[in-house]
Amino acid sequence: MSYSKTAENRTGSWEWIQFILDAFCWFLAMGLALVLRYELHVEWAQFPGLLAVTGIAAAAQLIFGYLLSIYRGRYQSGSFGEVQALLIVTLIVAAVTTLILMVGYRQFDVGRSVALIAAPIACIGMAGIRYLRRLYREAKSRPGDSARNTLIYGAGFVGNSLVARMIQDQDSPYYPVGLIDDDPGKKHLRLSGVQVLGRGEDIRSIVHRTKAEVLVLAFANVDSELVTRVSDSVSGLNVRVLVLPPLNKMLSSEAPQGFSDFRDISVEDLIGRRPVDIQVEKIAGYISGRRVIVTGAGGSIGSELCRQISQFGPAELIMLDHDETALQHTQITLTGHGLLNGQDTVLCSIRDQAGLDAIFQARRPEVVFHAAALKHAPLLQQYPAEGWKTNVLGSLNVLRAARAVGVSRFVNISTDKAANPSTALGHSKRMAERLTAWMARETERPYVSVRFGNVMGSRGSMLPLFTEQIRVGGPVTVTHRDVTRFFMTIPEACQLVIQAGAIGQGGEVMLLDMGQPVRILDVAQRMIAMSGRDVEIVFTGLRPGEKMHEELIGDGEINATRIHPKISQALTQPLDPAELDLAEWLEACRLDEEKLGTSGIADEESEDPVDLGRVGS
């Protein structure tokens, strides 16, 4: 016999047992009601009538209980739904029995009010039996001795669900020993027998009292300030702090089921993960059913843009990059394979104007997200010509190719380093912004730039570098004790980039709300603390052109106007490509002719036909 058949037989057997117990409750309740009705003066002659009335009540209980699915296994034993159905059935049984007693009062020799008196007694008895069964099942299914003592921060809906889940799962690796909540009204609250032991400020004493080894933050979207406060509170106590995934992932059918949903806190949690309110209608309006091309599709931002754009149903998503391995990785994340034999991947460099023109003419994209760029400031400071050729001339190549085929919407990915630029990277991205504004004026179409700061987890960025330095034992290198930067998660940044593309009018620079700047030293110290290692921090000093604090709005730019809860816009001065001049640009980067010679530009001119001087329109 299969397991399902066995389980079905067990369920059916229990329902019959439950009915017998319910009938017994009615018998006891009727007897007690008879005694109360006649004030202890009950005669033996009344017992046959009592048995008959009890039989009627039991039959009515069976019929209406079956109709309301009490005896068909619909409800979890002892649940609120079952008790609610039980109450309705009890009222119906009492009404039917009372009606029969009123008609045949003399035949039964039982008071007409007996059924009404017995109903609450029987209901309490039947509910009590179900509750005892539930307690037994929960006690039997409690986690074993290997489960770790766990505190749950948050006694709301999520916390209540977690407590019940932990207690009722015999294989749970966590056993709840207490709740923590900052609401004074929940001071003595108990959830499934687990008590609220105090507030967030009492965490250390509660950990000592309960010998907890794990602390779970029971919030679907946890606040970074809370994560930081809790992390500091349990520092040195050898307590593992776990958080839940975002609510949309918890509710997704693709989300893993079970306690594997929990994960350790990350630097992203400490810095802040801000939910983004996506205006789906506007986004779908310019992406759905359109041919979309993403340059730099193999990079951190480009690949995430491809993943998010694909959700809006474009007619065609074209991923363009000069790095074949990066393209393959993006294709794998989107399609599950990396065959690189379809029309969705295009191998081309944005420095190649002829190649870009041919691709744009053949594929006729309608929307362009330009994410291809060189981004490492120290390296571009040494080799500024590479930044010029890719970030300036390459962006111009993409803009020209887009104009030639009538691209309806163009989104240029920029950086906060373009605001009052002080490095070759910042100056090159600033030029790309101004070229985009010029092309918007020429085409009278929504060609916009989107400016934001550092994204957490991108290739070659600070956080992966710190992680690797900690892994090898240090030292962790920080430029300056007080240096700060803006941070944003890659998904959050890409969601806002797509949103900015929907609301941009043309020519402006869209500024993403980066929150508060974060001190790099604090990030390094927290990452080291989370690793549990003793790693040295070394201060290397600011590099040439590097700022102590980044900014999003440059001098001379028209003040930003907020057009979305997370997006502002500022107007920038357009730049005619005819005015591009490498020498002037290098001077703006504060580089002299000697620096120009060491970058290898003269040697490369013979190999690359692109004119690094004045470029016409």
**Best CA proximity match to 11, nearest among 77, 64, 86, 89:** 77
**pLDDT, greater one: 219 or 355:** 355
Note the pLDDT of residue 592.
38
Residues 313 and 398 placed together within one structural domain of the fold: yes
Same domain, 182 and 301: no
Residue at which a domain ends, from 124, 140, 156: 140
- What's the mean pLDDT when you consider all of the chain? 83
Query: What value does the mean pLDDT take over residues 537-552?
Result: 82
Q: Are residues 190 and 104 in the same domain?
A: no
Is 336 in the same domain as 405?
Answer: yes
Is 356 contained in some domain? yes
Same structural domain, 420 and 450: yes
* Per-residue model confidence as pLDDT tens digits over 553-599: 777 676 668 887 788 888 888 999 999 999 888 888 865 333 434 44
Domains identified in the chain, total number: 3
Please give the pLDDT value at position 590: 66
What pLDDT does 373 receive?
A: 95
Domain boundary among 140, 166, 192: 140
Domain with residue 186: its CATH number is 3.40.50.720
Instruction: Express each pLDDT in 529-541 by its tens digit.
Output: 777 778 899 998 8
Q: Is the residue at 479 inside a domain? A: no
- Residue 444 within any structural domain of the chain: yes
Evaluate whether residue 476 is within a structural domain.
Answer: no
Say whether both 40 and 82 belong to one domain: yes
By CB neighbour count within 10 A (0-12 exposed, 13-18 middle, 19+ buried), where does 559 fall?
A: exposed
Residues 178-205: tens digit of each pLDDT: 999 999 888 889 888 899 999 999 999 9
Nearest Cα to Cα of residue 580 among 391, 447, 404: 391
Cα angle value 462/468/469 (rounded, 5°): 85
Label residue 35 exposed, middle or buried (CB < 10 Å: 0-12, 13-18, 19+).
middle
Tokens of 157: 């809906």
Same domain, 160 and 253: yes
Give domain status of residue 472, yes or no.
Answer: no
Closest of 460, 459, 395 to residue 427, by C-alpha: 395
Range of weakest confidence among 109-113, 157-161, 446-450, 612-616: 612-616
* Residue range 384-395, pLDDT digits in tens: 999 999 999 999
- Residue 226: per-residue pLDDT: 84
Q: State the pLDDT at residue 228.
A: 83
Considering the domain boundaries, does residue 467 fall inside one? no
Is 90 exceeded by the pLDDT of residue 244? no
**Single-letter code of the amino acid located at 29:** A
pLDDT of residue 259: 55
Based on the fold, state whether residues 116 and 156 are members of the same structural domain: no
| Domain span at 383 | 282-456+487-516+552-605
Residue 508: which of 498, 516, 500 has the closest Cα?
Answer: 500
* End position of a domain, from candidates 78, 106, 140: 140
> Taken in order 172, 175, 178, 182, is the CA torsion positive or negative?
negative
Predicted pLDDT at 436: 97
Same structural domain, 261 and 355: no
- Asked, for residue 272, whether it belongs to a domain, the answer is no
422 and 508 inside one domain? yes
- Is 451 domain-assigned? yes
107 and 162 share a domain? Answer: no
